[in-house]
Amino acid sequence: MAVISYRQALHDTLRAEMTRDEKVLLLGEEIGKFEGSYKITAGLLDEFGPKRVRDTPIAENGFAGVGIGAAMLGLRPVVEFMTLNFSVLAFDQIVNHASKIYTMFGGQTAIPIVFRTPGGGGQQLGATHSQNIEVWYAHLPGLKVVAPSNPADAKALLTTSIRDNDPVLFLENLGLYNTKGEVPDDGPEVPIGRAAVAREGTDLTVIAYSRGVNVAVGVADELAKDGVSVEVIDLRSLRPLDRETFCKSVRKTTRAVVMEDDWLSYGVGAEIAASVQEGAFDYLDAPVRRVAAAEISLPYAKPLESAALPGADALRKVIREQLDATGMRSKS
Amino acid sequence: MALIRAFELRAQEMYQRAKIGGYCHLNLGEEATVVGLMSALRAKDYLFANYRVHGYAITRGLDPGEVMAELFGRTDGVSGGWGGSMHLFDEGVRLMGGYGIVGGQLPPATGAALAIDYEQKADDKSDAVMCLLGDGTTAIGAFHESLNIAGLWNLPIVYVIINNGLGMGTTVDASSAEPDLYKRGAAYRIPSTRVDGNDPDTVRKAAEKALKSAREDRRPYLLETTSERLKGHSVVDPAKYRTDEENKELKENDPVPLYRSTLIKSRAMTKKQAQEIDDEAERIVDDAVAFADKSPSPKPEQLFDNDYSTAVAGAPKQMPGDPLITF
């Protein structure tokens, strides 16, 4: 089992799927000669040629829709948006077309397309380049939205996504590209719509996805030294959402905190908190708490940006408050 | 042309009788364009349309009964009652959909052309894509993004601007800085031309030339046809923005009687034959309505039949009011 980076896992998976299936092609800005802004597609143009690794004009709505049409005729395009922020330019094609065509035409034509894109803040890129707007897409029936938190899941979920016959928004995170982890050569398949228990615990459940899972596991490991046992649920998919897994966990631990990188109001955490309320209300010892980004367009200045983004300090504080409020005093 | 005329007049009537809901955009006045374009397409070609699609669907070979059933929202409709008037689809005749969002069809149509290009063997040049759009669509980004990509990658696609002079109620002059819409092709080095959309023979000839460019020269093509809607933008639009004089002109230029008299004058057809064609069209439309009427409405329990192509664990299938989580 090799230890590789999240970036490498994505690259290797694209390469493996292109080798396996001639119908897989890549579309996106600067993915060929430039090898991708984040180098996920490095070397693929040389290996597979310009027919299968297509540099597109800067026209997100155009090339996203080109992918949709190609998928309707049986190709399996993987479209890269340089960042999630630019996917907004392709909102019409994703929202009104990719996510609707299968249902709207009575199930007559599938759209096997993957839209890959990194999101996330923390790189001092300013307001328009630092968003976590995944919830806009997770709201849409017809689309599948996945957000792997580690290299093994990145490989497994990208494989599943490329082989899936529905449109998948595949969320990466700038803060994860260099993280490393064990990636099995022939790992188990990870189905879309199934969460994982990233870390087992008995006192409190943190429900997180993508970068937030790593923060949560770090905090959980720390708190273990104080005798607090935190369970971390990695959602892996935002649509469909595996409510059963996290509700089951909360029924066991009786306390729930959501860790999310997006804005609080109407965010992923709102959906999870409502689901926990419905699926585990009788088991809860305290209201569900949410740790999310401050509700402000993200600033460039480092101290401001750091203050706005949810991190380990905020999560630790909220976990302690939850425990204190419910009679399980944690050391500080 | 007679069949489209009869079908659309009946669709209008059925809408007024509340058999058809939602929006309903008719091809009345555009019959010559529809027939000219569709007669130039081959069976292997793909068609992407906008929301004004009834006539194209019928001429492309869809059963008028199944089209009417779709307008009625019935299970035997071409999209199973899921799409309605704007979203007719049938892969069998390679009608890859009517699209309700202005310009939404352009990027996918361009992608279909990419797929043809991707799969094509050197000795097989028979597939092409035709993408229909209205005059108002030439202002949106997807038009320019698509033409640029098609021009850049030499894709086998013909974009057809069905210029009926009005984007809803706004004239071309009031919405386009370049009212000669076909000239926009020059910006992408895409050959283009404008033809009289009231003459089916002219349209057909132009469409054949455009498709030849796409297939054989591997150059996309931009074709503009000029015609006029006889009615408003949709059935509910009384078209009050038109003057009495304009309405009079519309009647004089109506392509259906014009082409009929051309054929009779040139002795290609007798008056009696013309009447027989009209009678036959009425019969077909009568049957279509009867078929649609008899077709059952989809049942509520079918609501999630087409939620995903690849089934997923945990996809919510709750009806409104159902509990979300059950252990």
Residues B227, B35: Cα–Cα separation, whole Å? 13
Residue type, A171: L
A60 is annotated as an active-site residue: yes
Residues A146, A186: Cα–Cα separation, whole Å? 20
Q: Are residues A237 and A215 in the same domain?
A: yes
Q: Which residue from A minimizes the CA distance to B118?
A: A51
Q: With the CA atoms of B52, B56, B57 and B59 taken in that order, what torsion angle do they form, in degrees rounded to the nearest 10? A: 150
CB B141: neighbour CB atoms within 10 A? 16
pLDDT at A329 over 80: no
Closest Cα in chain A, distance from residue B202 (Å): 30
pLDDT in tens, B165-220: 999 999 999 999 999 999 999 999 999 999 999 999 999 999 999 999 999 888 99
- Six-digit token string for A9: 């896992």
CB neighbour list of residue A259: distance below 8 Å, 6 or more residues apart: A206, A207, A208, A212, A213, A215, A216, A291, A310, A315
Q: Are residues A173 and A206 in the same domain?
A: no
**Mean pLDDT over each residue of chain A, to the nearest integer:** 96
Q: Is residue A162 part of a domain?
A: yes
Residues A197, A214: Cα–Cα separation, whole Å? 13
CB neighbour list of residue A317: distance below 8 Å, 6 or more residues apart: none
Q: Is residue A189 part of a domain?
A: no
In degrees and rounded to multiples of 5, residue B129 shows phi and psi of -115, 140
- B123 pLDDT band, cuts 50/70/90, is very low
Closest Cα in chain A, distance from residue B233 (Å): 22
Give the active site residue among A29, A60, A260, A271.
Answer: A60
What CATH number does residue A250 fall under?
Answer: 3.40.50.920
pLDDT at B125 over 80: no
Closest Cα in chain B, distance from residue A124 (Å): 30
Structure-token match 């997100």, residue found? A60
Residue to substitute from A75, A105, A246, A251, interface B, most B β-carbons within 10 A = A105
pLDDT at B120 over 80: no
- Six-digit token string for B260: 């009929």
pLDDT in tens, B7-47: 999 999 999 999 999 999 999 999 999 999 999 999 999 99
According to DSSP, the residues that pair with A277 across neighbouring strands are: none
- Choose the weakest-confidence range: B123-132, B300-309, B312-321: B123-132
Q: What single-letter DSSP state applies at residue A94?
A: I
Yes or no, beta carbons of B309 and A194 under 8 Å apart = no
CB A116: neighbour CB atoms within 10 A? 24
Q: How far is CA A199 from CA A234, A248, A277, A323, B276, in A?
A: 9, 14, 22, 18, 78
Closest Cα in chain A, distance from residue B138 (Å): 14
Q: Strand, helix or coil at B96? A: strand
pLDDT at A327 over 90: no
* Residues of B (49-68) whose Cβ lies below 8 Å from A: none
- B129-134 and B157-163: which strand pairing? parallel
Q: Are residues A222 and A177 in the same domain?
A: no
What CATH number does residue A129 fall under?
Answer: 3.40.50.970
Q: Which residue from B minimizes the CA distance to A164?
A: B310
Q: Are residues A170 and A312 in the same domain?
A: no
A189 is annotated as an active-site residue: no
Task: Say which of B79, B107, B118 has its CB closest to residue A106.
Answer: B79
pLDDT at B122 over 70: no
Q: Is residue A281 part of a domain?
A: yes
pLDDT in tens, A21-65: 999 999 999 999 999 999 999 999 999 999 999 999 999 999 999
pLDDT at A331 over 60: no
Residues B311, B327: Cα–Cα separation, whole Å? 21
Residues B56, A20: Cα–Cα separation, whole Å? 39
- Residues A140-169, mean pLDDT to the nearest whole number: 98
Task: Say which of A164, A194, A243 has its CB closest to residue B325.
Answer: A243
**pLDDT, position B314:** 78
B1-300 folds as: Rossmann fold (3.40.50)
pLDDT in tens, A193-222: 999 999 999 999 999 999 999 999 999 999
Task: Say which of A69, A109, A194 has its CB closest to residue B110.
Answer: A69
**Residue numbers of the domain that contains A319:** 196-325
Q: Are residues A96 and A51 in the same domain?
A: yes
Residue to substitute from B310, B319, B322, B324, interface A, most A β-carbons within 10 A = B310
- A53-55 and A196-199: which strand pairing? unpaired
Task: Say which of B81, B107, B119 has its CB closest to residue A62.
Answer: B107
pLDDT at B126 over 80: no
pLDDT at B62 over 90: yes
Q: Are residues A97 and A175 in the same domain?
A: yes
Q: Is residue A66 part of a domain?
A: yes
